[in-house]
Structure 1
Amino acid sequence: MSQVLYVPRNLLAETRAHLLREAPREGVGLWAGRREVERVLPLPNAHPEPLTGYLAEPLALLRALKEVEREGLSLLAIYHSHPQGPALPSPRDIREARWRVPYVIFGTDGVRAFLLPEGREVGLVLL
């Protein structure tokens, strides 16, 4: 685990609250910041099977990325939930991974982060 994400506890709680509002659907969003997570940007899940998959609504994703850039922040991670399963990448998560940032997965057993598609775990440090 050479890469690490630094996450303030209040932003982790904000992310969890967003994902609880989405349940039983999978929720999705972005974490942005400089060295540590400074912003949580929830996004609508436009996946045709939202109980078992996620797809950030493209226009909302574009707007969020422009907002991140405008604020001088960087995209640090993409988060999503597995409301009915573990915090491990599903075969679909691995197959559909496109971004070179960690994918943070909130599951029934906690939260973990991975670089996908290779599956290398990324450390989460709570601040």
Structure 2
Amino acid sequence: MMLRLPKACLEQTLAHLRAALPHEGLGLWVGRAGRVVEFWPLQNIHPRPRERYEADPQSLVEAVRRIEQMGLELVAIVHAHPNGPAAPSETDRSQAFWRVPYVIFDMKTEQFRAFWLPQGEEVPVGLEAL
């Protein structure tokens, strides 16, 4: 599987993650068959948001319902590491629940990588002009 990401969705994602600094920002990439069509930001409600992320459960359930109602899919879960790296932490691995790629941004460099978690297998991401 390869994720296909339009540059506009990347910019929306980065804008949200930058605005969340110094906290870990998060959100969802929504689309079909591995192609992202929208970024949906979520609020980090973790008590230690500089070190961890947690989506509000009610907001997450509502987002998943909306995704299904729109005939779309949850393509990936996105979050930022404010001080890097763009690699899963042990916490990221141990708390991985969803069977979608997890995309991690290193906010020092704004580089990102996607992984199947908890196993840690990297998922390629291709940028598209649209």
TM-score where L is the length of structure 2? 0.93
Corresponding residue for residue 58 of structure 2: 59
User: Which amino acid in 1 is paired with 2:3?
Assistant: L
Count of residue pairs brought into register by the alignment: 125
User: Which amino acid in 2 is paired with 1:97?
Assistant: A
Corresponding residue for residue 48 of structure 2: 49
Matched residue SS, 1:17:
helix
Matched residue SS, 1:68:
helix
- Listed one character per residue, the Cα deviations across residues 12-37 of structure 1 (whole Å, up to 9, x for unaligned) are 01000000000000011111101310
Q: Identity percentage over the alignment?
A: 48
User: Which amino acid in 2 is paired with 1:119?
Assistant: G
Instruction: Tell me the CA shift for residue 118 of structure 1.
Output: 0.1
Instruction: Tell me the CA shift for residue 66 of structure 1.
Output: 1.1
1:23 to 13, 21, 24: 21
For residues 1-127 of structure 1, the aligned pairs below 5 Å read 3-35=1-33, 36-107=35-106, 108-109=108-109, 110-127=111-128
Instruction: Tell me the CA shift for residue 39 of structure 1.
Output: 1.2
- Listed one character per residue, the Cα deviations across residues 15-66 of structure 1 (whole Å, up to 9, x for unaligned) are 0000000000001111110131011111111111100100111111111111
Alpha-carbon separation, structure 1, partners of 2:96 and 2:51: 15
Alpha-carbon separation, structure 2, partners of 1:118 and 1:60: 27
Unaligned 5+ runs, structure 2: none
Alpha-carbon separation, structure 2, partners of 1:114 and 1:48: 25
Unaligned 5+ runs, structure 1: none
